[in-house]
Structure 1
Amino acid sequence: MPELDQHRFGMQLSHLSRAWRAELDRRLVGLGLSQARWLVLLHLSRFEAMPTQRELAQSVGVEGPTLARLLDSLEAQGLVSRQAAEDRRAKKIALQPNAGPLIRQIEAISSQLRAELFSGIDQEDLLRCQQIHAQILANLERR
């Protein structure tokens, strides 16, 4: 692939990511959550067992102090709680029961957006695109 096409691909991918997240933020604004907070809730909901703060921070892709501030606000809203782990220095993070309906709303809104964005895209094309992204990520991880 010529260098210009590679540059365009990277720029387009970056623009797509920002635009997708901005549209999702716009649709979620009525829930009273910042992008960072709804992202934490979604990641937390996908763990089978309560993660530690460190595990959750790695999953979300933020530093520990950033996650701590986000958890402070989510805890103040009654959406999560911190619980002692086996290692007393660590805290496990639990979703509170009232987070469930909010997470279901987030999932429904994001599912609707995905359906709109993938409209008219052939499944084989989508699969090939995912394979290409996976290869790029693998190349990055080898560095």
Structure 2
Amino acid sequence: MPQFDQHRFGMQLAHLSRAWRAELDRRLAGLGLSQARWLVLMHLSRFAELPTQRELAQSVGVEGPTLARLLDSLETQGLVCRQAVAEDRRAKKIALQAKALPLIEQIEAISSQLREELFTGIDQDQLILCQQVHARIISNLERL
């Protein structure tokens, strides 16, 4: 049985993340969206209620000014809109526009196809265990 290599684990995980994202970007290139913009759309589509700009920034993992520029671009394309929050004049809720929905469906379909290809030859129990290990590592990071 192979030995666990702590040093290689982090590098391998980073490589996996970069390569996966690069392949997804390559497949999504025809939709005319940068990685940052499609990522914002996907995060936004997963909220049950309209998030504030701050909540969306936290979900995506970017700073507020970075998200503001991305939202400006997405708003110009007619994919999202900002809505005032009555109880806080400074806050804005972010909503998807109808024009974004077919685009999100395409992103989801392309993403699903890629996952299916990447998970070939890996059984369900292995994927569950992998997900549990990742969740534990994330939990440990959050406690630091």
Paired with 1:128 and 1:42, the residues of 2 have a C-alpha distance of 25
4+ runs deviating over 3 angstroms? none
TM-score normalised according to structure 1 size: 0.96
**Aligned residues: percent identity?**
82
Aligned length: 140
Trace 1:42-53 onto structure 2 (pairs within 5 A).
42-53=42-53
Paired with 2:48 and 2:90, the residues of 1 have a C-alpha distance of 22
Partner of residue 23, structure 2: 23
Question: What RMSD in Å do the two structures reach over aligned CA positions?
Answer: 0.8
Deviation of the 1:116 alpha carbon: 0.3
Deviation of the 1:118 alpha carbon: 0.3
Partner of residue 102, structure 1: 103
Paired with 1:44 and 1:77, the residues of 2 have a C-alpha distance of 16
Point out the more displaced range, 27-36 or 118-127: 118-127
Please, which runs of 5 or more residues in structure 1 have no aligned partner? none
Please, which runs of 5 or more residues in structure 2 have no aligned partner? none
Which amino acid is the alignment partner of residue 5 of structure 1?
A: D
Does 2:57 match 1:71?
no
Paired with 1:107 and 1:27, the residues of 2 have a C-alpha distance of 12
TM-score normalised according to structure 2 size: 0.95
Trace 1:96-135 onto structure 2 (pairs within 5 A).
96-135=97-136
Partner of residue 40, structure 1: 40
Which amino acid is the alignment partner of residue 89 of structure 1?
A: R
Paired with 1:111 and 1:36, the residues of 2 have a C-alpha distance of 19
